Structure 1
Amino acid sequence: MTVLSICLALLAALGNAVASVLQRRAAADEKAGRPTPKVSWLFHLLRRPVWLWGAGALALSGACQAAALATGPLAVVQPVMTTELLFTLVVGSVVFRSRPDRRTRWAFVAMAAGLAAFLALASPSGGRSTVPGNRWLVVAASVSALVLVLVVTALRLPSSPRAAVLGTATAIGFSCTAALMKDAIGRLTDGVGALLTAWQTYAALGVGLLSFLLLQATLRAGTLVASQPALTLGDALLSVVLGAVLFDEELALGLRIVPEAAALTVLALGSVQLARSPVVAGQGKEDMW
């Protein structure tokens, strides 16, 4: 089942990357065309097939992520979702006809190798499909307080540190959204009605929306280079913790913790360098953003 969840998570990451690139392509085409009033700009985008294909890819990605969480540990699915950055580079290079330089290609290899090594060493396994309510009380209170502290702290920081701190808060939100989604889907064994009446279903929607808005604030606060390591590692690491705390997932630690830390370092360095690529960052002669 873990192999299936990894494949589904990879498809979800690919869907996110395709959605991002296609919608950026539509936005770039819109800018290149005749000027349109701000009010009707979104309306024009909605009429573009490329943008709609991107929206469809995003919906498919959500379905694949939900299926991945239903079939595998949270500590596996969310780290694998970080491959969105790798897929964005590949898909963006094709769509925008921009060939990555040697440094970017090495960063691609480093990030992929770091992620693979971490998952192989940590070997997340086991776990339950649903979470006892009392565990959510403790986790929700702790996470909410941490996010609030991070947001308040970020308001007093200059651009790059602010982006990094907000990126950490955003990553926490995304990992909690995934945990809530997994808990909600686990109730499908009791029927669709149990899913539709579970508070976790609506909490996942609410936290996901807030996280998306926080992501927009993160991207406005500073460059992707400043926020990407926090976004990438924050989501992956907290998901590993939430998997153990909420779902009783098991990790191989002990003496392996040193090479696991090294693998995460390689992953972080790779993500930083990939974030510098114009294809990923949405910069360059096409003015992708």
Structure 2
Amino acid sequence: MISVLFAVLTAISNGSASVLQRRAASTVPDSDALHLSLIRQLVRKRVWLAGICMVIVAAVCQAVALATGPIAVVQPIFVIELPSTLLIAGYVFRSRLPRTAWYGVAAVTCGLTLGMATAAPGGGSETVQGLVWVPALIATVVFEGVLIGFAQRVRGNTRAALFGLAAACGYALTAALMKDAMARLEDGDGIVKLFESWQLYGTAVAGVGALFLLQNALQAGSLVASQPMLTLGDALISITYGVMLFGEHMRTGWWLAPELFAVALIAAGCMELARSPLASGSAPAKSRVM
């Protein structure tokens, strides 16, 4: 129960961060993509710094969630980040969500419920055994390299989608490394073992890399292109890490049919919600107070 609660808090924080960062990154020219100048320009924007604060809050909540629950349970819950963010933004800006946006909220919520009920993820170990990390890291690097390579050859929403998926892979890897690192705290001298583990520092590197890729995704195109790839990619890749690295399990066979339907519901809902003006960081002029 604790893991689910903190997973929900993580989703709310991450969703808020994405919207704030999109609002800032959309003002940066395409020529700054994949350059440190992108970050230099963003750190001068208070709205982007607010987004980073939300990223830090999300990281703390995620660490607690992963320390108390399977990665295949925690990470998929993050698909609610966009619906929850829009509901909060609608309240703050006193702007009603259109009916189609409510359909999107319903689709994501129903999709998550159906997916978790039919997949029934769980089980597994708290740590990764032996050298299992080696092939996983090699596969991740190759996958990321292919996505980034293709993203550099295209523009607009296609580029945003590819960078979004690359960022999702980075965040999923960050979660897997974080879970493996946090397991060290269960020992008597856990703090010492935590800071001696390479997974802790790998978490920091993967997290920063994922954040950088996310800025490029948000700068390249609309949330309609990047958010579904980010949201679904994170959930599905995290489940893969959970199964392959931690030995977690989920239902297969005929259960795959409702699971795929759940994924389709979530994707459709995210695309509809990402079209909302609130998702792009804008609000009605009369409600702006900053």
Instruction: Tell me which interval the TM-score lies in, with the shorter structure as reference length.
Output: 0.7 to 0.9
Q: What TM-score do the two structures reach when normalised by structure 2?
A: 0.85
Q: Any conservation in 2 of the 1:278–1:284 contact (CA below 8 Å)?
A: yes
Structure-2 change in CA distance of 1:278 and 1:54 (3 Å): same
Q: Structure 1 residues 267 and 146 mapped into 2: Cα distance closer, same or farther (>3 Å)?
A: same
Q: Which is worse superposed, 12-21 or 266-275?
A: 12-21
Given the superposition, is the C-alpha separation of residues 40 and 4 from structure 1 closer, same or farther in structure 2, using an over 3 Å criterion?
closer
| C-alpha contact 2:93 2:283 (8 A) present in aligned 1 | no
C-alpha displacement at 1:123, in angstroms? Answer: 0.4
- Provide the residue aligned with 2:197 in structure 1: 198
1:278-289 aligned within 5 A: 278-286=277-285
- SS across alignment from 1:156: coil
Is 1:248 equivalent to 2:259 in the alignment? no
SS in 1 for 2:153: coil
Q: CA deviation at 1:41?
A: 9.3
Distance 1:22 1:210, change over 3 A: closer
2-structure distance, mates of 1:168, 1:278: 23
Cα pair 1:21 1:95 within 8 Å, conserved: no
Partner of 1:35: none
Report how far residue 247 of structure 1 moved. 0.3
Contact 1:118/1:264 (<8 A) preserved: yes
Q: Aligned runs of 1:98-247 on 2, under 5 Å?
A: 98-190=95-187, 191-247=190-246
Residues 212 and 121 from structure 1, CA distance in 2 versus in 1: closer, same or farther, beyond 3 angstroms?
Answer: same
Counterparts of 1:129 and 1:14 in 2: how far apart (Å)?
A: 25
Contact 2:95 2:284 in 1 (8 A): no
TM-score by length of 1: 0.86
Q: How far apart are 1:118 and its partner, in Å? A: 0.2
Find out whether 1:270 has 2:251 as its counterpart: no
CA distance in 2, matches of 1:40, 1:152: 24
2:53 pairs with 1:87: no
1:279 aligned counterpart, secondary structure: coil
Question: How many residues were matched structurally?
Answer: 271
**Given that residues 125 and 250 in structure 1 are in contact (C-alpha distance below 8 angstroms), is that contact kept between their aligned partners in structure 2?**
yes
1:258 partnered with 2:270: no
Q: Relative to structure 1, is the Cα distance of residues 162 and 241 closer, same or farther in structure 2, using a 3 angstrom cutoff?
A: same
- For the structure 1 residues 24 and 149, does the alpha-carbon distance in structure 2 shift closer, same or farther, using more than 3 Å as the test? closer
Q: Which of 51-60 and 227-236 deviates more?
A: 51-60
Indicate conservation of the 8 Å contact 2:22/2:218, yes or no: no
Structure 1 equivalent of residue 11 of structure 2: 13
Q: Is the 8 A contact 2:164 2:214 kept in 1?
A: yes
Gaps spanning 5+ residues in structure 2: where? 25-39
Q: 1:61, CA displacement in angstroms?
A: 2.5
Maintained 8 Å contact 2:95/2:283: no
Which residue among 56, 68, 72 is the counterpart of 1:59?
A: 56
1:116 Cα deviation after fit: 1.0
Report if the CA contact (8 A) 1:195-1:201 is conserved: yes
User: Is the partner of 2:122 in helix, strand or coil?
Assistant: coil
Measured after TM superposition, the shift of residue 60 of structure 1 is 3.2
5+ residue gaps, structure 1, are: 28-38
- Is the alpha carbon distance of 1:52 and 1:174 closer, same or farther for their aligned partners in structure 2, counting shifts above 3 Å? closer
* In 2, Cα distance between equivalents of 1:157 and 1:41: 23
- Following superposition, the deviation at residue 18 of structure 1 comes to 4.7
| Percent identity between the two aligned chains | 43
1:253 is displaced (CA, Å) by 1.2
